[in-house]
Amino acid sequence: MGSTLSAPVVDKSYATGEDADFVYAVSEMQGWRISMEDAHTAVLDLNRAHDSHAPESQDAQNAKSFETKESNPTNSKKPAFFAVYDGHGGSNVARYTGATLYARLARSEEFKSGDWHNALINSYLNTDEAIKANPELSSDPSGCTAVSVLITPPEPTATNSSISARKVICANAGDSRAALSLAGQSLPLSYDHKPQNEAESDRIVKAGGFVEIGRVNGNLALSRAIGDFEFKQNPDLGPEAQIVTAVPDIIEHECTGEEEFLILACDGIWDCLSSQQVVDITRRAIANGEELKDICAHIMDKCLAPDSELGGIGCDNMTITIVAILGEKSKDEWRQWVKERVENGIGYSTPESVPDIFEKSELPIDRSNDQATFDANRFGNSPLSILSNMAGASGSSLQEALESGGIVFQPSGSVTNKDGQLVYASLSDDSEESDEESNSSQQKIVPIKDGDERQIEASGGLTDTSEDPIKSMNLATNSDKEEKE
């Protein structure tokens, strides 16, 4: 985690735009960080980028993209593009990427021919190469995540060539995220690239690196990024095989008409809220008549830590983009459509009536379609992902442990108090178990007593950047934060 200020910068910047197909709002907040290192892109008509040999300013793109159905009856043929770039080690790479990647994408032959996947992948790699070749940036130590969504013009569907539908295609490198609200349920469009993930760690080691305390070479807390050239030095390997690669994963969704809105955000948001929580907050706010830019601001305020004592959760830069997918509706019709769905209980965890949009829930968070379940199924449960199910041990509950001195989450998967003394840890269970038992039964969360020499497992680590066990348990504390990049 980077250095923090004595007081957060809570002033927010906004960008908004709309046409016949989409309405969007983007908001950024520096927060507790000493500088703002995020960048973003929002372009309603990516075809306009064809006309320029040099990338235009984002404001110019947005201004050129604002059109109405009356002024442009072929409006729905436009591809739209939205992206969030979370910088680390400085802002230069993130700013350059935000200003140029979309133009490289739009001018590529793959894009013009409708080869969307390769167009996105090459735009990431070409941007990375351009930064490396730029004498002003090649020695810059910074890097950035890149999560982007290309919404294509309507195309024949895979099941019926006579029916046309848009595609929502997400390209992701790093640990920023994108998600769709699909009939009120969060549909993940990306998954985090963390060094401890099996496929990522395999590549890192094969390229000559190592993973230590959940970080690449003990340093970088994510395993894919644009920039970060100190991790891309092996001349015998292609860009996809370097210790850190800019190659994005691609996830495609074919629209069905149930898509309500799209959310992209950096991990300053996802560290504090799950994608389903953000979807729920956004839907309720829309039903209450909130503007998208105000919803962005409220979400960031909700995620902002009250202090920076540990410099972790809630202390990062924050950027969030919300994109309303209008379909064939007007903006007002879309708002009414979402409002009626919320009030009629259509959607995930939607109340029968619309409460205060930031009312604190007393119910446990159901993360069944969120990143935590994906990570748990693939990598097993770590102490951090199952703390909310942990009962008191040896007469001391987690609540009492917090009140008596606080806890700190360690990358190894153990829990210590503020003095560094182990309180809970994940221990091997050598007892025989049936094949039907789940992965969680193969680890035990137990209190650590003086003299306990059992081997502490360090393979679990933290694989879910949106998991906040303390908030999930609704405990009365805001002081316990997890160390982040």
Report the phi/psi class of residue 125: left, alpha or beta, with left for phi > 0 and alpha for psi in -120 to 50.
alpha
**Does some domain include residue 57?**
yes
Q: Are residues 320 and 467 in the same domain?
A: no
Q: What is the pLDDT of residues 61-79, one digit of tens each?
A: 433 333 333 333 344 579 9
Q: What is the pLDDT of residues 253-309, one digit of tens each?
A: 999 999 999 999 999 999 999 999 999 999 999 999 999 999 999 999 999 999 887
How sure is the predictor about 412, in pLDDT bands with cuts at 50, 70 and 90? very low
Strands 143-144 and 164-165: unpaired
Query: What is the model's pLDDT at position 161?
Result: 66
pLDDT above 60: residue 248 = yes
Q: Are residues 331 and 392 in the same domain?
A: no
pLDDT above 80: residue 80 = yes
Which one of 289, 322, 343 terminates a domain?
A: 343
**Does some domain include residue 280?**
yes
Q: Are residues 339 and 388 in the same domain?
A: no
Q: Are residues 139 and 283 in the same domain?
A: yes
Q: Are residues 81 and 200 in the same domain?
A: yes
pLDDT above 50: residue 237 = yes
pLDDT above 90 coverage of the chain, percent = 58
**Measured between alpha carbons, how far is 357 from 187 in angstroms, rounded to an integer?**
21
**Does some domain include residue 353?**
no
Q: Are residues 385 and 338 in the same domain?
A: no
Query: What is the model's pLDDT at position 349?
Result: 59
pLDDT above 60: residue 312 = yes
Query: What is the model's pLDDT at position 7?
Result: 94
**Does some domain include residue 436?**
yes
pLDDT above 80: residue 31 = yes
**Does some domain include residue 314?**
yes
**Measured between alpha carbons, how far is 201 from 238 in angstroms, rounded to an integer?**
17
Query: What is the model's pLDDT at position 409?
Result: 38
Q: pTM of this prediction?
A: 0.71
Q: Are residues 74 and 213 in the same domain?
A: yes
How sure is the predictor about 188, in pLDDT bands with cuts at 50, 70 and 90? very high
CA-to-CA dists, residue 88 to 32, 136, 237, angstroms: 14, 17, 24
CATH number of the CATH domain containing 316: 3.60.40.10
Query: What is the model's pLDDT at position 309?
Result: 79
pLDDT above 90: residue 114 = yes
pLDDT above 60: residue 120 = yes
Query: What is the model's pLDDT at position 310?
Result: 61
447 close to 424: Cβ distance less than 8 angstroms: yes
DSSP 3-state of 393:
strand
Q: Are residues 307 and 450 in the same domain?
A: no
287 close to 347: Cβ distance less than 8 angstroms: no
Q: Are residues 102 and 195 in the same domain?
A: yes
Query: What is the model's pLDDT at position 350?
Result: 58
pLDDT above 70 coverage of the chain, percent = 64
Query: What is the model's pLDDT at position 245?
Result: 97
Q: Are residues 66 and 141 in the same domain?
A: yes
The span from the first CA to the last CA of the chain, in angstroms, equals 4
Query: What is the model's pLDDT at position 76?
Result: 55
**Does some domain include residue 362?**
no
pLDDT above 50: residue 461 = no
pLDDT above 70: residue 366 = no
Q: Are residues 181 and 294 in the same domain?
A: yes
Query: What is the model's pLDDT at position 74?
Result: 43
**Measured between alpha carbons, how far is 34 from 89 in angstroms, rounded to an integer?**
12
Q: What is the mean pLDDT of residues 468-482?
A: 32
> How many domains in the chain?
2
**Does some domain include residue 246?**
yes
What is the DSSP code string of 312-370? -TT-S-EEEEEEEE-TTS-HHHHHHHHHHHHHTT-STT--SS---TTPPP-SPP--TTS
**Does some domain include residue 369?**
no
Residue 36: give the domain boundaries: 4-343
Q: Are residues 148 and 290 in the same domain?
A: yes
> What burial letters (b/e) apply to 378-413, b meaning 16+ CB within 10 Å?
ebbbbbbbbbbebeeeeeeebeebbeeebbbbbbbb
